[in-house]
Structures are given as C-alpha cells and as structure tokens.
Structure 1
Amino acid sequence: MVAEALLEAFKSDKELSVIAFNSAMAGYNKLHMFRSTIAAYETMKSNGISQDSESYCQIMEAYHRIGDMDKVSSLFDEFESSKLKLTPLAPRAYSILCDSLAKSGRPYEALEYFRDMKKKGLFVSSLVYSSLIISFASIRDITIVEELFEEAEERKMVRDPEVFLKLALMYIEEGLLEKTLDVVRVMNDANVKVSDCIFCTIVNGFSKRRGFQSAIVVYEQLILQGCKPGQVTYASIINAYCRIGLNTKAKMMFSEMQQKGFDKCVVAYSSMIAMYGKAGMIRDAMKVLAQMKAKGCQPNVWIYNSLMDMHGRVKNLRQVEKLWKEMKRRKLAPDKVSYTTVISAYNRVRECEMCVKFYQEFRLNGGSIDKAMAGTMVGVFSKTSRIDELVRLLQDMKAEGTELDGRLYHSAMNALRDAGLENQVKWLQKNFDAMQHGTQL
C-alpha cells in the first residue's frame, strides 16, 4: 500500500517516475509478486511514462515467471525495435527470452536468439547455456547438446548440477553409457560435486541397460574417482548385490549405509528383507524388520508382503496372521500381492475356507483377478467342489481378460466334468479353446 501511494505521488514527475516504477517492479519480482509487477507496468504505460531497458527487463521477468512465454516474446520484440537495444541491459533481456523459450519447449527458437547474441557480441550468461543444454538434452539432440556443452565448458560457464543430470539421463536413454562417465570426469575437473541423484542415475542406468553386474562395476569405478554415495545410491547398489546373490557384499553396504546416517531408507530395508527371504534366513529378515521399527522407519506393504510370503512358504500361519493384522493396524491397505500371498499361505495347509474368505474380501474391495490369483482359486474351488463359484471365477476371468494356462484349464475342466455340468464344460471349451502351443489359452 505504501509502494502504491508513493508511485501515485511520483507518476507526475516523468524522470523520477521511471526510477520509482522500476524500483517497485524489481522489489515485487524479488518477492515473487509478479502480478503486482504487471499491474505497476500497466499503470506506467497508462500514464504515458516512457519505459527504459530496466522496465522491459523487469516486466519480461514477471511474465517469464508466471509462464506467459508469448508475452515475453512480444515484449522482447518491442524492446528490440526500440532505440534501447544497445544498452547494457540487452544481454539480460536476451537471457530472459532464451530461458523462456527453452523452458516452453521451443529450443530451436531459443538457439537462434543465442546465436544472434553472439553475433552482436553480447555477453552470454551461464543461465543461457544451462537452459539451452537442458532443453536440447530433453529432446535428445545430442549434436547440439555436445556443441553447447563443449563451448560452455571452455568458457567455464557450466556449474549447474541439473545440466550434468540431464546429460547423464540423455546418454542413458540413448544407450551411450560410457559417456556418463565422461560427465563425471568433467564435474570432477570443474570441482562440481557429483550429487547422489547423478550417482544413482548412472548406477541405475547401467543396471537397466546392462544388468546388475555392470552396475556394480561402474559403482566401484565411481567410488575410486571420489564420488560419495548417498541414501538413494546405497539403496540401488544394495539391491544390485542382493539380486545377483552377493549377500555378504550387500550386508557390508547396508552396514556402511547405516553408519553414514542413512538408517531410514525403506528401499534398502526392503532389499535386505527380500535377500534374507530368498536365502531362507527368516530370522534375519525379522531382525531387519525390528531394526526398521527401532529407527522409526515404517515398513511398507511390499515389506509385509515379502515377510508373509516367507512365513507362508514354511507354513507358519501364526506369523502370517500376525503380520497381516499388524499391517492392517498400521492402516496399510493390502494390495493384490498381499491377498495372493495370504491366500497361498492358507492354501498350502489346505485351509480352503480361509482362502475363500480372503478371496471374497479381495473382490469386495474391487480387486481384479490376475493369473496368480486365478491359479490358486481355481484349485481351491475345484478341491472343495464349489462349482458355482468356479464358474463365476472363470466368467470373471474372461470378462477381465485374464488368461488360463493349460494346467488350470484342465483342472477347471475336470472339476466341471466331475460335477456333471456338461453345459459349463461346453461353455469353457467354447470360450477358452484358444490353446497356443499347448500351454496358454
């Protein structure tokens, strides 16, 4: 209110008013009050106050920050056509325009203005290089990205971590994995810290493209180059060690991660629990769960699913029931895997009534049938002669597009024949007679 009152008082003095309005717009921009900047600029124009280069830069900045890129472009055209274009603020106006075009998905237009800046001998800021490199990396124009990056590197204009991250992502998406290591080399040469995000991106890129063994090799290379893993990278490399059975290394990494203070990573705990489960070391898996809780790290549904599966496989229903109740008590909604796991556990000890109970709960909650769920329930309904429910299951499978494999097909067929339901047998043959290579329908 004070600012508006002062502007009202100053607007009659043409020389003072330009300074006052520019100062107000600069202040509003710093406070992210971009609509107030625009209002001040409109007042300036309506009162016939001539805009100088500072005025144009402030209003372009405001429109840029609210995402009105067309307005930025039109203001720049107005600015460029005026006699102000050779002022010291021209590089700033060009920078705002280039950044605006690049971020709005118009990188080639931004590139033309960038080249125009260079022709005119205007200073090109690191912001312009960063915006252009990030924009072209997003559309994977490698040639232009590398030209811009090399030029920026020579001028020591690249220090933005996002630029390096975008470069790494681009090379991974294009399958040029070795070039991600060049990105790290450039960062080290420029004394730019390799963030956990970039470290993890490279490790996961190798893992996805070349497998877990390659991810481990590149992780160890980057460690030798001085890269420091954070929580996300630790979680990724622990998962890699677990997946290829290097359990001792996984435990070492897990211990190191905890010592570094990263002791609340659900993903790392999940990997360790799954590893112990795969090795049949259920007590160790439960110890990891206890560690999680002691650290105040809440287990997720995936962890409960893994633990219930472990106990279900050894027919420890008491522990399965305990975990199920604990999961519900923590207000974690069971997913499809949860229901499939608990139903499979009861099926192993032939408690078919409990299988049916959980299946009905699953369907009431809107769960859809996949091959794993169907495989268990076809067997349950067949063994207990629940023919009506078996037929309904088969109908639901057909409606939901779930395929039967050959084993389940014959199991269902035999159950229907044993019940003397020839019409249902014919229906099953008609609707599921698309056997492919003797294994799938």
Structure 2
Amino acid sequence: MFVHKLRCYYGFLLKHFENCLLWLVAGNALNCLFIDSSGFQRYLGFGVTNLNGATVKSYKQEGFVIDERGKLKRFNRKKLSRKRCGSLRGRGWKYGSGFVDGIFPVLSPIAQKILSFIQKETDPDKVADVLGALPSTHASWDDLINVSVQLRLNKKWDSIILVCEWILRKSSFQPDVICFNLLIDAYGQKFQYKEAESLYVQLLESRYVPTEDTYALLIKAYCMAGLIERAEVVLVEMQNHHVSPKTIGVTVYNAYIEGLMKRKGNTEEAIDVFQRMKRDRCKPTTETYNLMINLYGKASKSYMSWKLYCEMRSHQCKPNICTYTALVNAFAREGLCEKAEEIFEQLQEDGLEPDVYVYNALMESYSRAGYPYGAAEIFSLMQHMGCEPDRASYNIMVDAYGRAGLHSDAEAVFEEMKRLGIAPTMKSHMLLLSAYSKARDVTKCEAIVKEMSENGVEPDTFVLNSMLNLYGRLGQFTKMEKILAEMENGPCTADISTYNILINIYGKAGFLERIEELFVELKEKNFRPDVVTWTSRIGAYSRKKLYVKCLEVFEEMIDSGCAPDGGTAKVLLSACSSEEQVEQVTSVLRTMHKGVTVSSLVPKLMAKSLTVN
C-alpha cells in the first residue's frame, strides 16, 4: 500500500513538473527542454516499480525531451542526434545551397572568431588544440556547423576538412549526417573520391541513414573524378536502400548532371542523365534547367539553350536570375549580341533586377561580336543603374578593346581598374598582354610581364606560351629558345601547348629537323600529341609539298588514336601537287565517316604515290 502511494506520488510530481515545463516553453519561447529522470530518483531516494511490483531498471543515460508540440518524450543520450534535439540550425543544410531556401548561416561572435582562425590556420594540430578548448555544448556544435557551412559557401574545402575531421576523429561531439555530408562534399571538390567513399562506408557502419544529399554528393564526387561507372553504382546502392528509380529525387539528378559538367568531355553523358530523369518522371526544377542551359551554352549550342528555356516556361517552371544569366552567356559565347539583349529585356519584363553577372554576360556578347563600344555602353548603363562593376567587368572591357585592336583603350581600362583599388589578376594581365601581342609590340609585352613579377603575380605557363608565340611570329628564335630553357629549369614547366607553338613556328620557318627533335622530346616528357600537334607537324611537310612524308605522319597520327579534324584535312590537301593526289586524300577522308579503317588505306596510297613519282 505504501509503495502504491509512493508510485502515485511520483506520477503526480512528474505530471506536475511536465505542466510547469510546458508553461516555461510557452512563456519563454524555448524550442525544447531536457529532463534527467535520474534526478527524480536521486531526489526521491528510491527506484520506481511497475504495476506488478517489479523494479524498473534505471538507465543513467536516459532523459526526457519536450518537443515543439509540448509532448514529453524519452531519449537516450548516447543516441542523441543534433537533428533531433537542441538547436536545429544545422539541420537546414542542403546540397546546392547554404541552408534551406538559401538562408545563410548567422555566425555568433565565437563562430566569427573560429571562422577567422580556421581560414588562416592550416596545421591540424593547432586547429585541434583551439577547437578542443571549446565547451562540449549545443551552442559550440551549432557554431562549428555554421562555420563549416560558411566555409563551404566560400569554397574553402581544406578548412572544412580540418574542422569536420576533427569533429569526426578527435572531438567529444557525436557527429551526424550533416557532418559526413560536408566532408564528402569537400573531398569530392578536391577530387579525392577514395576519401569520400570511405566516409560513406563509415557513415553506414555508424548506423546512420544516408540522406538524399549524401547520395547526391557521392555521385558528384565520382563524376568529377571521371568515374561514371561508380556513380551508377551509387544509384544501385540507393535502390538497395529501398529507393526505386522512379523515386530518385531531383537533388540526385542535379548533382549527377553538375558532376558530369565539371569534367570536360562528358556533355553527352549529362544530356543522357537529363533525359533519363524525365523518363523516370522526375520533374526538373529551375536549377536543373539552369544546369542544362549552361551546358548547351558552353558547347556553343545556344539554340538548344533557347529550346530548353521555352520548355521550362511551358512546364510552368519559373526562371530565375541564374536562368537568364546562363541564357545570356550562351548567346554571348557565339557573339549573338542582339539575341542576348532580347533576353536581357525579357529578364526585366519578368520583374527581375539585373545583377553584375547579367551585365557582364551582356558586355561579353558585344565583345565577342567585335563591338567594343557596345560593351562600353552596357558598362556605363550598369554604373548608371547603381550596379557596381567588379573585376570581371573591367577584364571584359580590356578584352573587348584588345580584340578590336584598340590596345591603348585596353590599357586605359586596365589603369582605371588599378586606380580604383581593384588589384589586377593573372587574367587581367593576360588580356592586356594579348592586346599588345596582336599589335606585335614586343617592348610593351615584355614590360607587362615585368610588371606582373613586380606586383607579385608570377607569370605562369600560359603567359610564357604567349611570349613564345609572339617571339616566334616575329622570327626572334633566340629569345624563344631562351624562354624554353627557362621553362625547363624554372617553376613554370612546358605543356603540350608549348610544344604545339614551337612545332607550328618552326614548321612555318621550314626547320624540319628541329620539328622532329621537339616531337621526340615531348614524347620523352610523356606528353600525348593532340590533333594540333599532329596537324602542325604535317603542315610543316605540306609547305614543302612532301606528299609522301605527309601521308607517313598521317598514318602515325591514326595509329596513335588521334582523330583528324578539318585542319588536318586542309594541310593534307595543300600537300597535293596533282589531281590524282587530291582524289586519293579525299577518298581517305571520306572513309573516316563510313567506319572504314583509315590506317589500312594509307599504305596503299603511299605505294600508288611512289609508283607515280
């Protein structure tokens, strides 16, 4: 009887305390409160029995939580997840954005200090010492997750790895799926797919449930590494976790497409994924269409970008500012400035305000079309509308004037950029260098390269290749060889473009022996000759009308697995000195489109040519 009364009294206290807590939640706008049931037992001094009189086992790690609906729930502290309890700011992280609906993290003063420290420090031990001094509280966890998300928005992948690896390996915090997702994303961006893969395995071994973001980020990591087959395996893995192909979310498909876009040469594969997405009745979102419009734009297929834009509107999918920017860029790459301007007007009719990226894309369209003053008008309009030009805006203007041969105007824009406190980058110097290179002004080009070094912008291989090309066009072979020697001994090493320039220059000058030396040298350095290399080599013999030698080099090219292009056909035809040779070359080129092995026909052509000669 006494025990029964005590049980009733304990139940009364618990119910009364629950009501008090509910009042606290309503009065103080708290999200949740935790109750330690062991505290009741310590206070009352006895264990609780059930209705049958048996003692209920007491678990020290158990507690209660009042959720947002005011319900009292029991939880195990060992299984406490940041997604289930405490502040939920970390839960909103999503692939492709900072937080849900694009809400960016609001950093506390402590988080600001952590962010500032992490961005400067690269030593894992020092990072561990500083982060280890943080108290093991929910507030510290929120700060760490918010800092990691902010680092992701800033594309500081190494810093994310430092923070999240510390959480995972050395901290007292219980990591959650968000932490794993951030790490998989960071490793994927750094092309370290094996690390991303091992994290996924660890996530499963820790008995966490992968989210759609987890699969999306893993697929993207594989695609960026060129491992499309493994990306497909991830889709099979999703099905093993009871996700049918028909229910694969748009997030996964978008990640698949974006990962393929990040690596050149996967355009067709990305288009196939987009078509599969529609076959599986997964409705494309605005982000999906933006990716595909950008994909076709980069492939110089602006008509397909326009077709997708029309399809998007017909499916009641609302375009955003990124859609119009991608579309303007698509037309800009082909110099279709009138069409780009139509899209610009449509953007404004839809109630969107152009930003600096849209203005830059429109300026680029006029630049590529050869209308530098049209680009200048857009530049002035942007300033008039209160949109501040950025470094890219000035670079576009330098390029626009340089393309048109107005190198003085290009330099004036360059100097204005410096006057405004915008530090010129490597690209800024390269565009100015290109402008004076077209004017064959060696003195000015050398001064620009010198200025780069003085400003702490060390010339890279691309800059040195430009100087090589300039010296070669002017016949200054001694200076050209000097730069090549510097590249062999300096920090900027030669690449395949370096050898392409040298072979082309020496070929035009008729130095056939030097061409063969360079060709042997690039193979010794494990460079794979591309179509430009082979075509330049054939072109050197073509200028001498050495038809048989051209066929020999052409056969080498085919045997190496390099496919000829229109430039190759042109130099082969220019080597011909009779109608019969023209017919022979034409027949070989035609077979390339019929699936016939070209290399089997070249020896026959050479035999015929030798007989005729």
| TMscore range, shorter length | 0.5 to 0.7
**After superposition, where does 1:75-86 map in structure 2 within 5 Å?**
80-81=59-60
**After superposition, where does 1:28-67 map in structure 2 within 5 Å?**
28=24, 33-34=29-30, 37=33, 49-50=43-44
Tell me how far apart the structure 2 counterparts of residues 83 and 353 of structure 1 sit (CA, whole Å). 76
Tell me how far apart the structure 2 counterparts of residues 348 and 84 of structure 1 sit (CA, whole Å). 71
Aligned CA distance change for structure 1 residues 189 and 398 (closer, same or farther; 3 Å): same
The alpha-carbon deviation at position 275 of structure 1 amounts to 2.2
Number of the residue aligned with 1:249: 304
Q: TM-score under structure 2 normalisation?
A: 0.46
The one-letter amino acid paired with 1:94 is: N
Match of 1:177 among 204, 218, 231: 231
The alpha-carbon deviation at position 295 of structure 1 amounts to 0.8
Q: CA RMSD in A?
A: 5.3
Aligned CA distance change for structure 1 residues 135 and 202 (closer, same or farther; 3 Å): same
**After superposition, where does 1:25-424 map in structure 2 within 5 Å?**
25-26=21-22, 28=24, 33-34=29-30, 37=33, 49-50=43-44, 80-81=59-60, 92-94=74-76, 97-100=79-82, 140-143=198-201, 145=203, 163-174=211-222, 175=227, 176-182=230-236, 185=239, 194-208=248-262, 211-378=266-433, 391=447, 394-403=450-459, 404-408=463-467
3-state DSSP class of the match of 1:181?
helix
The alpha-carbon deviation at position 202 of structure 1 amounts to 2.4
Number of the residue aligned with 2:486: 434
> Alpha-carbon deviations, 1:21-51, whole Å to 9, x = none?
333335656888559947x98xx979x8559
CA contact (8 A) 2:293 2:309 kept: yes
> Alpha-carbon deviations, 1:89-141, whole Å to 9, x = none?
999422773425999677799xxx9xxxxxxxxxxxxxxxxx86666665644
Tell me how far apart the structure 1 counterparts of residues 33 and 74 of structure 2 sit (CA, whole Å). 17
CA contact (8 A) 1:212 1:240 kept: yes
The one-letter amino acid paired with 1:394 is: K
Unaligned runs of 5+ residues in structure 1 are: 1-12, 54-77, 114-130, 153-157, 413-429
Give the total of aligned pairs: 357
Tell me how far apart the structure 2 counterparts of residues 101 and 287 of structure 1 sit (CA, whole Å). 47
Number of the residue aligned with 2:593: none
Tell me how far apart the structure 1 counterparts of residues 347 and 372 of structure 2 sit (CA, whole Å). 23
The alpha-carbon deviation at position 232 of structure 1 amounts to 0.7
Tell me how far apart the structure 1 counterparts of residues 220 and 46 of structure 2 sit (CA, whole Å). 46
Aligned CA distance change for structure 1 residues 321 and 263 (closer, same or farther; 3 Å): farther
CA contact (8 A) 1:187 1:194 kept: no
CA contact (8 A) 2:250 2:285 kept: yes
Structure with the greater relative contact order (CA < 8 A, sep ≥ 6): 1 or 2? Answer: 1
Tell me how far apart the structure 2 counterparts of residues 244 and 168 of structure 1 sit (CA, whole Å). 24
CA contact (8 A) 1:28 1:34 kept: yes
CA contact (8 A) 2:25 2:31 kept: no
> Percent same amino acid at aligned positions?
15
Tell me how far apart the structure 2 counterparts of residues 343 and 84 of structure 1 sit (CA, whole Å). 66
CA contact (8 A) 1:369 1:402 kept: no
The alpha-carbon deviation at position 245 of structure 1 amounts to 4.2
Tell me how far apart the structure 2 counterparts of residues 52 and 386 of structure 1 sit (CA, whole Å). 94
Aligned CA distance change for structure 1 residues 265 and 15 (closer, same or farther; 3 Å): closer
Aligned CA distance change for structure 1 residues 306 and 30 (closer, same or farther; 3 Å): same
Tell me how far apart the structure 2 counterparts of residues 52 and 432 of structure 1 sit (CA, whole Å). 87
3-state DSSP class of the match of 1:402?
coil
Larger helix proportion, structure 1 or 2? 1
The alpha-carbon deviation at position 211 of structure 1 amounts to 1.8
Tell me how far apart the structure 2 counterparts of residues 372 and 101 of structure 1 sit (CA, whole Å). 44
The alpha-carbon deviation at position 336 of structure 1 amounts to 2.5
CA contact (8 A) 2:297 2:333 kept: no
3-state DSSP class of the match of 1:228?
coil
CA contact (8 A) 2:366 2:372 kept: yes
Tell me how far apart the structure 2 counterparts of residues 83 and 372 of structure 1 sit (CA, whole Å). 60
3-state DSSP class of the match of 1:80?
coil
